[in-house]
Amino acid sequence: MAQRIVVIEDERDIVELLDYTLRKEGFDVRGCSRGKEGLDALRRGPVDLALIDIMLPDLSGLEVCKLLRADENLHRLPVIFLTAKGEELDRILGLEFGADDYVVKPFSPRELVARIKAVLRRQGRAEEDHVQVVEVQGLRLDPNTQEAIVRGQSVELSSLEFKLLHFLASHPRRIFPRESLLDRVWGRDRFVTPRTVDVHIRRLREKIEMKPAKPQYLQTVRGSGYRFSVEADGA
């Protein structure tokens, strides 16, 4: 069965270009011109990836992504933002809202297809990677169900957030530079920058740490990278 992509974009010419390009690559495509319409299509499912424009007439793409990440059935759905905004702050904001990647208009259809395939490959590896359950200091991570339990409470993580946290927790005390984390977690077919690691670490801290400014688990080692600590208190 062809993988299904929902495109939420209000510019007709871009929708037609994406529909032609993605169908040529073997994808099943559903186009929506409004955020609410796109949300309805995503909730009806099944969907493998959402391609969302940030500037939409009703809900913004950021709002759509935020609602997806709060939905227990869709919080792991891969999301790529498509937008004319190209400033670094906008890219970081998109990632902080839970996007897996960010493509700036005007874009190369070939590059966009490559990015989509890279995100889907990464998603597939995460779902197929049946490795050990990690239990340490009130944290339990089950990669077979992608369930994260922190201090007895279930925490909703995207597939990428779970994979990053599980990788670091599986290698306690070891320091990983940003580039190393990109290779190990995002994979070598990635298109993102080292700053992406900082954004995802910050998102994880907000979700799992009692005091994000003084993290117990995900600690920064200045000039070196990040490590997962198994000490009782943050450093």
Same domain for 123 and 8: yes
Q: Are residues 12 and 119 in the same domain?
A: yes
Task: Clarify whether residues 153 and 98 are in a common domain.
Answer: no
What pLDDT is recorded for position 87? 65
* Domain containing residue 110: CATH number: 3.40.50.2300
pLDDT in tens, 176-215: 999 889 888 887 555 667 888 999 999 999 999 999 999 9
Per-residue pLDDT at 41? 94
Q: What is the tens place of the pLDDT at every residue in 62-82?
A: 999 989 988 888 888 999 998
Q: What are 114-171's pLDDT values in tens digits?
A: 989 988 887 766 555 546 889 988 899 998 788 899 999 999 888 889 989 999 999 8
Q: What's the predicted TM-score (pTM) here?
A: 0.64
3-state secondary structure of 40: helix
Both tokens of 70, joined, read 């709060």
Three-class SS of residue 34? Answer: coil
Q: How many CA atoms lie within 13 A of 127 on its CB side?
A: 10
Residue 234 lies in a domain: no
- CATH number of residue 223's parent domain: 1.10.10.10
Within-domain flag for 145 = yes
Q: Is residue 87 part of a domain?
A: yes
Averaged pLDDT, 27-40 = 94
The percentage of the chain sitting over the pLDDT mark of 90, rounded to a whole number, equals: 50
Domain encompassing residue 75: 4-127
Closest to 14 (Cα-Cα) out of 32, 27, 2, 26: 32
| CA nearest to 227, candidates 185, 176, 178, 180 | 176
- Whether 233 maps to a domain, the answer reads no
Give 164's contacts (C-beta < 8 A, 6+ positions apart). 181, 185, 197, 200, 201, 204
Domain count, the chain: 2
Task: Examine the domain organization and report whether 20 and 104 are in the same domain.
Answer: yes
